[in-house]
């Protein structure tokens, strides 16, 4: 399978640690590509409607090549740190720009990894999960997993052997 991972973190911390653990499990049987929004030149969606949800974006930036990768994937993994009780702006930018080809994102297999500095029973994880649940319902996504992790120090998740093993197994069992 072709897996596209959208890394909503610009830092080399816990979100990347989670992604790396997932890749360790998934890389043997799958083709994997990571999209780093913070390294791309993508203008925010203007809601102009020129794309009509299938034509692509009229912006002459990295939007269309990025969305091409996402629509070609069998599995999309959205990974984000928690920023102000929600997903990062970097991840939200990519999701917003997916509107230009939204109809081509129907029926995808999707997973989420969310890492935050509060215990996983905090409202922030629920808010992010609900937002993805709404997108999944709208686009008929098969939500194959939604995982949340609590880690404050930038190396904390790496020390949580149970969580790392869980992420590896998720990747391996795709």
Burial of 130 (0-12, 13-18, 19+ CB in 10 A): exposed
Buried b (16+ CB within 10 A) or exposed e, 47-69: eeeebeeeebbebeebbbebbeb
Query: Taking the chain (174 residues) in consecutive chunks of 10 residues, what is each chunk's mean pLDDT?
Result: 97 95 96 97 93 88 96 97 95 94 92 96 96 94 96 93 97 94
pLDDT of residue 119: 93
Tokens of 105: 């994102």
Confidence (pTM): 0.95
Identify the CATH number of the domain defined by range 2-172.
3.40.50.360
Query: So what's the pLDDT on residue 54?
Result: 82
């Amino acid at each position: 399978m072709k897996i596209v991972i959208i890394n909503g973190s610009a830092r080399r911390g816990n979100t990347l640690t989670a992604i790396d653990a997932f890749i360790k499990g998934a890389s043997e049987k799958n083709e994997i590509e990571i999209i780093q929004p913070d390294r791309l030149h993508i203008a925010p969606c203007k809601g102009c409607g020129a794309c009509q949800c299938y034509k692509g974006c009229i912006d002459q930036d990295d939007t269309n090549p990025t969305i091409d990768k996402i629509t070609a994937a069998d599995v999309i993994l959205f990974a984000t740190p928690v920023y102000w009780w929600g997903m990062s702006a970097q991840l939200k930018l990519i999701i917003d720009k997916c509107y230009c080809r939204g109809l081509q994102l129907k029926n995808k297999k999707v997973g989420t990894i969310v890492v935050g500095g509060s215990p996983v029973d905090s409202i922030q994880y629920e808010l992010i999960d609900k937002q993805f649940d709404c997108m999944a319902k709208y686009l008929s996504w098969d939500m194959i997993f939604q995982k949340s992790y609590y880690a404050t120090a930038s190396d904390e998740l790496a020390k949580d052997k149970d969580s790392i093993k869980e992420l590896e197994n998720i990747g391996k069992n795709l």
